[in-house]
Structure 1
Amino acid sequence: MVIGGNWEQEILAETAKSMGLRLLLTDPDENCAAKKHADIFYRVEPRDLTRLLTLAKKHSVAGVIADECDYSHYAAVVIAHHLGLPSDGLAAAQVTTNKAWMREMVREAAVMQPRFFACNTLEQSLKAVNLIGLPVIVKPVDNRGAFGVSIVRTNAELETAFLEALMNAHSRQVIVEAFVEGTHITVDGICDEAGCHHNLAMASKKILPGEKPVITDVVYPARLSEELTRHVYDVNQKVVAALGIHAGFTHSEYIVDDKGRCFLVETANRGGGVLTSAKILPFLAGADLYQYLIRRALGETHKLVLSPVDRQVLLTFFVFENGVIDSIKGFDAVHALDGVLHVQLLVSAGQTINRPKNGAQRHGFAILSAESAAELEQLQASVRSTLQVHYANK
């Protein structure tokens, strides 16, 4: 059973079918990308745990899995746990899907993190700002993709930011935390059959300027010194241990400041989104990670074998000019460029586009690979010059 069938999980569904398995797929979208791989499909929201459990029992599923989505992964863990099937662990799923709980757990392990307060009301948020000092980050405790995340630089901006975070928080709670200047880092890892965690890759990120922190570039390996790289990897191992993660993927975000201090932002017990765990990690690790996780979800003995490759990889997002799209030219030419592992548009002709306010509003992306940083930069420039957006009335 695969919970979630959008384009981020299509490769997971495709892998399951390639292994000769009979696939039960659920997704809230009747026309989701992975539906064509399913033997049985149901239209179900990932937060409808009762309905999902009923379907899993009805079809006597042998394993449950999901990836790249907090809600789907959480549902998979709960369903598998209820049925006595292998899972990534209910305790870890609980703590990693709530940033406030996660922060409390790692605080006990003496991991550095921005000073924070979990807030239920605007008054509590104002008190938190007064204690922390401006600027601050205001965000939901339980969402992804920068939904409801704002940088607040004045008290006058707090109410709007609080309400936006609240509307994107399923538990109706927000976090107010100190704003930390520095390099944004992502660390992805996986646990082996013995429960030992392996750091697979580290990336540094570029953020779209402004009050909405939307990522535009993610480059592997991270642009850090060897010493800082080792330090961040060590911190990540400490965080994973503190959160009790013993199975599945991990996807962690950090900020390294100009003093070399590593601050935890958040950790998830799932793969990174936008095909990070579906395409980037298998490429860099030299392993079919989905096949490994599917076999583990079925309770099969399967050893994790990693064969890392020494390559530069860039996940670059398209942020086009505002306006009404008339046409987009050059997509096939970009796809044919040497080193382009994947390219995908998330907008189309006739659509009005604006500056993204969260990850879901970005206009598309490409995953690129090269032997050197200079070659990677040249490939990115070629992609951007080849892909041309034409606007109506311009």
Structure 2
Amino acid sequence: MARKALILVEGHRGNGPLYIQAAQRLGLHPITLSSDPAQYDYIAAKGIEAIRVDTDNLDALILECSRIRTTYDIAGVTGFAVNNEPLSATVGKLCLYFDLPGPNSASIERCCDKFVQRQILAKAGVPMPLYRVAANATEVEGSAAEIGLPVVLKPVMGSGSRGVRLCRDADELTEHSSFLLGGRYLWRCPPRVLVEQFAEGPHYVAEIMEGEVIGITAGYFGPLPHFAFRGMTFPAPLADDEYRRIADVSRSCLRALGLGWGPTCIEFRWTKRGPVVIEVNPRLAGAPDPQLIQLACGVDLITEHIKLVTGKKCDLRRRHSHTAAARFLRPDRDGILEWIDTSRAAAVSGVNEIRLYVRPTTPLTSKGEDSDCIGRVIAASPNLAQTEAILQRAVDLVDWCIKPIPTGGKERSAPLHPHQSRGRVRSDLRKH
């Protein structure tokens, strides 16, 4: 009898290793298909089978999966849309071709284009910020004038806060539209920019599986004008009515976009008029959301997702009620990471995980994106106050040293004492 394989299209530095581990626990052999398997360090570190293939090419993926089927029984196919949201639609088409459970590719494609998504949600009466789409700097300027500053500029396709920025005045608008449309931003589609009204207020994410709202995560951003996460907490500290309103709007989004199979995460801002939708993502939220949910209520969304893609029923029953939270370690300046010490933080009782994304000697350059962070700390306890106290203590005990980057024999800035370049996580994480 052929061994059962789980095909993973591309990888993910956060969720990727978790899918590998969950697949192996379920008795499946994970195989990663990637245009560049070497970009995912966990694949080589764990000795995971990986095959180089053009993942933008559906025919190439079909051919490779057909070859794999001569050795393995393909139990399911799923993937990761990192820097490439349309990849989720490709996975849906691949599942359909091989008659395997998977998402509706047409619904996925409607979500991947943020402008099309907005149009569909607007017709359904879903509360959203005002928006326009622009293909050049003149259209950006005109759209911003119609909406009124400040506005948020973002590519119509993409993830991880790449290319997303708040523009508070005309100079910032000109600067960022030039960055996006002037040849410096790497587009995977014809350049188009979504111009959005700035929805000011706390940020929340509805975590959904099979149309059921598992819970809501609170997210906390770093300094504007960027939208890079500093931390997140699950469950969010919401009143019952606030939770219900977010859940109700979430279900409206699913109906309008034709979603419901598998995972979805919907981002909100709580404004003066209540919850408004920022974005519907037809996929599981990236790490650490799945870990926080499992720590807080005992639901392992990654394992349950794999069950779905392999034709089994998922189990979404809560097993306990705790509060879990994460804080991201972000450098306070550009430079070269000389060393980082997490040993004292790891010894703090209640810390569940400390994970580093970069190694010493790594150059650090801030882009205002989620990819800027150098690691994360996760903790859980029976209540919010205790969890936040654990996290703050742990983060305060993380030390690192960032050296200035030499430029032609000179350094960009004066040498720093190690503790002068220590990271700090904001502690003003208050409920709205």
Residue 368 of structure 2 is matched in structure 1 by 357
Offset at residue 165 of structure 1 (A): 3.5
Q: TM-score, normalised by structure 1?
A: 0.90
Residue 294 of structure 1 is matched in structure 2 by 306
Q: Confirm or deny that 1:181 pairs with 2:200.
A: yes
Residue 64 of structure 1 is matched in structure 2 by 77
Residue 426 of structure 2 is matched in structure 1 by none
Q: Confirm or deny that 1:284 pairs with 2:299.
A: no
Residue 105 of structure 1 is matched in structure 2 by 120
Which whole-Å deviations, capped at 9, do the CAs of 1:217-267 have from their partners, x for residues lacking one? 11122233222121111111111221111211111111111x242110001
Matched-pair contact (CA < 8 Å) for 1:321–1:354: no
Residue 428 of structure 2 is matched in structure 1 by none
Using the alignment, how far apart are the partners of 2:55 and 2:178 within structure 1? 25
**CA distance change for structure 1 residues 303 and 30 in 2, over 3 Å: closer, same or farther?**
closer
Moved more, 338-347 or 375-384: 338-347
Offset at residue 81 of structure 1 (A): 2.0
Q: Confirm or deny that 1:246 pairs with 2:260.
A: yes
Identity %: 19
Matched-pair contact (CA < 8 Å) for 2:89–2:106: no
Matched-pair contact (CA < 8 Å) for 2:288–2:326: no
Q: Confirm or deny that 1:380 pairs with 2:391.
A: yes
Matched-pair contact (CA < 8 Å) for 1:319–1:355: no
Q: Confirm or deny that 1:266 pairs with 2:279.
A: yes
Equivalent residue runs for 1:74-223 within 5 Å: 74-166=89-181, 167-171=185-189, 172-191=191-210, 197-223=211-237
**CA distance change for structure 1 residues 338 and 380 in 2, over 3 Å: closer, same or farther?**
same
Moved more, 70-79 or 126-135: 70-79
Offset at residue 109 of structure 1 (A): 1.2
Matched-pair contact (CA < 8 Å) for 1:6–1:34: no
The code of the aligned residue for 1:269 comes to: P
Count of equivalent residues: 385
Residue 16 of structure 1 is matched in structure 2 by 23
Which whole-Å deviations, capped at 9, do the CAs of 1:86-132 have from their partners, x for residues lacking one? 10211221112111111111111101101101211222111111110
Residue 407 of structure 2 is matched in structure 1 by none
Which whole-Å deviations, capped at 9, do the CAs of 1:171-211 have from their partners, x for residues lacking one? 221100101211111111100xxxxx111121222211121
Q: Confirm or deny that 1:232 pairs with 2:246.
A: yes
Q: Looking at both structures, which has the greater relative contact order when contacts are Cα pairs under 8 Å and sequence separation is at least 6? A: 1
Q: Any unmatched runs of 5+ in structure 1?
A: 192-196
The code of the aligned residue for 1:120 comes to: A
Partner secondary structure for residue 104 of structure 1:
helix
Matched-pair contact (CA < 8 Å) for 1:184–1:253: yes
Using the alignment, how far apart are the partners of 1:208 and 1:131 within structure 2? 28
Matched-pair contact (CA < 8 Å) for 1:147–1:168: no
**CA distance change for structure 1 residues 246 and 44 in 2, over 3 Å: closer, same or farther?**
same
Offset at residue 39 of structure 1 (A): 6.2
Residue 337 of structure 1 is matched in structure 2 by 348
Using the alignment, how far apart are the partners of 1:106 and 1:31 within structure 2? 36
Which whole-Å deviations, capped at 9, do the CAs of 1:309-358 have from their partners, x for residues lacking one? 321111211123324332212x2333343322221112332234344510
Using the alignment, how far apart are the partners of 2:383 and 2:396 within structure 1? 20
Matched-pair contact (CA < 8 Å) for 1:255–1:265: yes
Matched-pair contact (CA < 8 Å) for 1:14–1:34: no
Q: Aligned match of 1:4 in 1, 4, 10?
A: 10
Q: TM-score, normalised by structure 2?
A: 0.83
**CA distance change for structure 1 residues 249 and 142 in 2, over 3 Å: closer, same or farther?**
same
Offset at residue 67 of structure 1 (A): 4.4
Q: What's the C-alpha RMSD, in Å, of the aligned pairs?
A: 2.2
Matched-pair contact (CA < 8 Å) for 1:334–1:387: yes
Using the alignment, how far apart are the partners of 1:338 and 1:45 within structure 2? 45
Using the alignment, how far apart are the partners of 1:340 and 1:382 within structure 2? 10
Q: Confirm or deny that 1:325 pairs with 2:328.
A: no
Matched-pair contact (CA < 8 Å) for 1:138–1:176: yes
Matched-pair contact (CA < 8 Å) for 1:17–1:23: yes
Using the alignment, how far apart are the partners of 2:304 and 2:206 within structure 1? 20
Moved more, 32-41 or 264-273: 32-41
Using the alignment, how far apart are the partners of 1:368 and 1:72 within structure 2? 32
Offset at residue 391 of structure 1 (A): 3.9
Using the alignment, how far apart are the partners of 1:318 and 1:68 within structure 2? 23
Using the alignment, how far apart are the partners of 1:355 and 1:253 within structure 2? 24
Q: Any unmatched runs of 5+ in structure 2?
A: 1-6, 404-414, 417-432
Using the alignment, how far apart are the partners of 1:184 and 1:292 within structure 2? 26
**CA distance change for structure 1 residues 391 and 290 in 2, over 3 Å: closer, same or farther?**
closer
Offset at residue 158 of structure 1 (A): 2.2
Partner secondary structure for residue 125 of structure 1:
helix
The code of the aligned residue for 2:166 comes to: I
